[in-house]
Amino acid sequence: MAGTDVLVTCRDAALTFGRGPTAVVAVHGANLSITPGDRLAIVGPSGSGKSSLLHLLAGLERPTSGTVTWPHLDGPDDIGLVFQADSLVPALDVAENTALPLVLAGHPETQTHHPVTEALGLVGAAALAERLPEEISGGQAQRVAVARVLAQQPGLILADEPTGRLDHATGARVLDTLLTAAERTGAALVVTTHDPAVAARLTTRRAMRDGRLLAPEDAS
Ligand code: ADP
Ligand code: MG
């Protein structure tokens, strides 16, 4: 690998929750590098460690052993994470939630209106802009979580089962939107899924089983 433009690298990165006899090894020594233009699906059943690996790539969790490094990212603001679970701030409306990464990165609120409106439009959620999270469905919240990352335009998009709570047609559209956005901005895209049909839409696939990231040739 050239190594010059690697966005994130895991070397023997492991993540263990808890200690002693009750410890759970969520990720066993994973080795993985993501470069610009990558479209990677991480595929595995529930509990196989997909979210844990994504959180390592995002810097949300520190590896228990091994290393995770970001040689060519412009700081934490350059990573966008679509969380698997509910991640909208209850007190903020949909537009404010979508603007949050931009506001936190220091952009004046007057400059967030355009990217937020565009991103909500891309996921078909423009009409929800003024609703609170408690006033929208789980599937709608998932689309807003995707919009939030689209508005942010990071160099690395990490999406944790972004279609998990959507019907097939809506899920396909959200995936289209993520792929198009990554194409347009030149971002790398990593998507976790347990759905082989979703995984098939990405360029490459890596399988996870029981916390182990399998070699590329073992991905199905
Ligand atoms: P997946 O996303 O593939 O469903 P996870 O990464 O969520 O898998 O979980 C992998 C393993 O780690 C599971 O056994 C899960 O129960 C465990 N795990 C995940 N998060 C925690 C946590 N915060 N504390 C303890 N165990 C956890
Ligand atoms: Mg998960």
The yes-or-no verdict on residue 220 having pLDDT over 60 is no
Q: To the nearest 10°, the Cα dihedral for 92, 97, 101, 104?
A: -10
Q: In what order do the strands lie in the sheet with 156-160?
A: 65-69, 8-17, 24-34, 212-213, 204-209, 39-43, 188-193, 156-160, 79-82
Q: Ligand 2 centre and the CA of 59: distance in Å?
A: 16
**pLDDT tens sequence across 6-54:** 999 999 999 999 999 999 999 999 999 999 999 999 999 999 999 999 9
Residue nearest to atom 15 of ligand 1 (CA): 47
Query: What domains can be seen in the chain, in order of their start residue?
Result: 8-218 (3.40.50.300)
User: In 83-185, where does DSSP find H-type helix?
Assistant: 94-104, 113-122, 138-152, 168-185
Residue with tokens 């399988």: 207
**pLDDT tens sequence across 149-160:** 999 999 999 999
**pLDDT tens sequence across 108-151:** 989 999 999 999 999 999 999 999 999 999 999 999 999 999 99
**Ligand nearest to the backbone CA of 61:** 1
pLDDT at residue 141 in the model = 94
C-beta 46 within 6 A of ligand 1? yes
C-beta 193 within 6 A of ligand 1? no
Q: Ligand 1 centre and the CA of 202: distance in Å?
A: 24
